[in-house]
Amino acid sequence: MTILQTAQSPNEYSKALREAADLYKVYVAAITTKVKQEFAAKEKAKVEKRGTSKAVKKLPRKATAN
């Protein structure tokens, strides 16, 4: 929070965060890659879940002659 308070305007937030990441030796690229992989896995699971629920639909009953 203190890092963001050092920024004078909203346009400087990303610069302040980038400088803080450099100062604390945070590997932003590695974190970004990991987060993208996690979101892709969640999206893939969501799509697979939707696909299986559609495949299990009940078949319509056949009309029987009485």
* Helix or strand holding residue 18 (H, E): helix 13-23
- Give the global pTM: 0.50
Domain ranges of the chain: 18-47
Cα 28 to Cα 11, 35, 63, distances in angstroms: 19, 10, 63
Q: How far apart are CA 30 and CA 63, in angstroms?
A: 60
Higher pLDDT, 50 or 22: 22
Mean pLDDT of 26-47: 92
Looking at residue 35, its pLDDT comes to 94
Q: Would you say residue 17 has pLDDT above 80?
A: yes
Q: Which residue has the higher pLDDT, 26 or 6?
A: 26
Q: For residue 3, with 0-12 CB atoms within 10 Å meaning exposed, 13-18 middle and 19 or more buried, which class applies?
A: middle
Residue 41 structure tokens: 């896995």
